Amino acid sequence: MNIHTKAVHSGDRKRTGGHVPVTTPIHTATSYFYDSTAQLDRVFGDEEKGYCYARYDNPSAGALEELLCALEGGDAALACASGMAALHTAILAALTDRRRSIVAADALYGATVGLLMNVFEPSGVSVRFADICDLARLRAVVAEARPGCILMESISNPLLRVGEIDSIAAIANEAGAALLVDNTFATPLLVRPLELGAHFSVHSVTKYLSGHGDVLGGAVVTNSPHAEPLRALGRTIGPVLGPFECYLTMRGIKTFPLRMERQCANACRVASWLAAHPRVERVYFTGDPQHPDAAAIRRLFPPNLYGAMVSFEIRDAGREEVFRFMDALKTIVPATSLGDVHSMVLYPVMSSHRSVSPKHRERMGIGDNLVRLSVGIEAPEDILADLEQALA
């Protein structure tokens, strides 16, 4: 079934009594009871399918999780209260019965770096960073570190590097490690990590999947061997997404492939335009034929779909000049997120990578003149006109 059809139909239309609602209702109940306590006991013990307590399961969450599995090609999912809650839970599940060691990509979202360094390392998990786009070097680091988990992003934040997920999955399997991919930037429209051998695919559903700037949420999708550890962690630590947010996410996903296709097309035009602008020093875009990972992108992504993120460096700009540019924008929103229907601009030094030390940012290649643009679904000529007047 095509992903457009899955996005519209999967997870919905469960029979409730004698009728079938066309969309999944918002189930706000926190607890459930049955005709007999014996039946409730069987539900609690997973001997009978059903609901007993909302931290364990909820019909709205269950429908969303079924939809996410359909989109990602997974066997189990957990809807979480934020993308970071999803990532934290996924790493814990990945390390279940594995060595407490992580090899992470050296290009990651700043909060992810913070999670690794400020939460996992102090709790006794060793963390090593490696260039996941250099397979020979990655293989050497993995052989030395013997990790229980390899962590990467399908498209890195904010410099848009793309690793060969299938090749990295092979390295992970050889080492007995789980491969965890944050797929937020690429979305299941561009790449489905589980189908390429990854063990976990994580999303901030706040971004492209819900797509309208009105949901804070995350999700983990995994395969059968990791389903029970993920479910157990969800029940124990309770990172679950509320029913209203589940409903809004499902509503957003119905149009997600259409939105994403439009955003990808707009991003191509914006990136080309920026590359020719005299005030722009460098453009980072996965559709660039000269992209350092162009071969992997051609092999892993569908034709003409490169994602909707464009990062660029403003020539001779520092913090003050970047702020002036952002303040001059009229329709592009200077806000801390991405993937919404409207275009958004973010200054990584101020927001996404604020918690990363200046030296670490420098090693990551994030300079003070770097701006990250999430391209929306507006008419492309209006996006370009706003950029033109703000760069003037």
pLDDT by residue (tens digit) across 195-233? Answer: 999 999 999 999 999 999 999 999 999 999 999 999 999
List, for residues 95-133, the tens digit of each pLDDT value. 999 999 999 999 999 999 999 999 999 999 999 999 999
Catalytic residue among 51, 109, 247, 306: 109
Check residue 20 and give its pLDDT: 86
Task: Tell me yes or no: is domain 3-253 CATH 1.10.10.10.
Answer: no
> Given a cut of 90, is residue 367 above it in pLDDT?
no
- What is the mean predicted confidence (pLDDT) over 369-388? 98
Of 36-50, 91-105, 255-269, which gets the smallest average pLDDT?
A: 36-50
**How far is CA 353 from its chain centroid?**
16
Q: Kindly state the percentage of the chain with pLDDT values over 90.
A: 90
> Could you tell me the residue ranges of all domains in the chain?
3-253, 256-391
Q: How many helices (H) and strands (E) does the chain have?
A: 15, 12
Task: Specify whether 330 is catalytic.
Answer: no
Q: What is the pLDDT of residue 359?
A: 77
What integer pLDDT is reported at residue 219 of this predicted model?
98
Q: What is the pTM of this model?
A: 0.96
| CATH code of domain 256-391 | 3.90.1150.10
Contact 132, 105 (CB under 8 A): yes
Tell me, what DSSP letter sits at residue 120?
I
Average pLDDT for 71-88: 98
Give the per-residue pLDDT at 365. 79
pLDDT for position 335: 92
Average of pLDDT values for 172-192? 98
Average of pLDDT values for 246-252? Answer: 98
Find the catalytic residue in 12, 32, 42, 55.
Answer: 55
- What pLDDT score does 200 carry? 98
Name the active-site residue from 57, 106, 182, 288.
182
Whether 386 sits among the annotated catalytic residues: the reply is no
**pLDDT band (50, 70, 90) for residue 310:** very high
Alpha carbons 251 and 52: distance in angstroms, whole number: 25
Per the DSSP assignment, residues forming a β-bridge with 284 are 311
Of the ranges 23-37, 138-152, 212-226, which one carries the lowest mean pLDDT score? 23-37
Quick one: pLDDT at residue 361?
77
Rounded Cα distance between 86 and 68, Å, is: 13
Verify whether residue 97 is a known catalytic residue: no
Residue 360 vs residue 11, higher pLDDT: 11
> Does 182 participate in catalysis according to the annotation?
yes
pLDDT at residue 282 above 80? yes
Pick the range with the lowest mean pLDDT from 14-28, 91-105, 195-209, 289-303: 14-28
281: helix, strand or coil: strand
Active-site annotation holder among 161, 207, 361, 372: 207
pLDDT at 371: 97
Query: CATH topology of 3-253 equal to that of 256-391?
Result: no
**Do 387 and 332 form a contact (C-beta atoms < 8 A)?**
yes
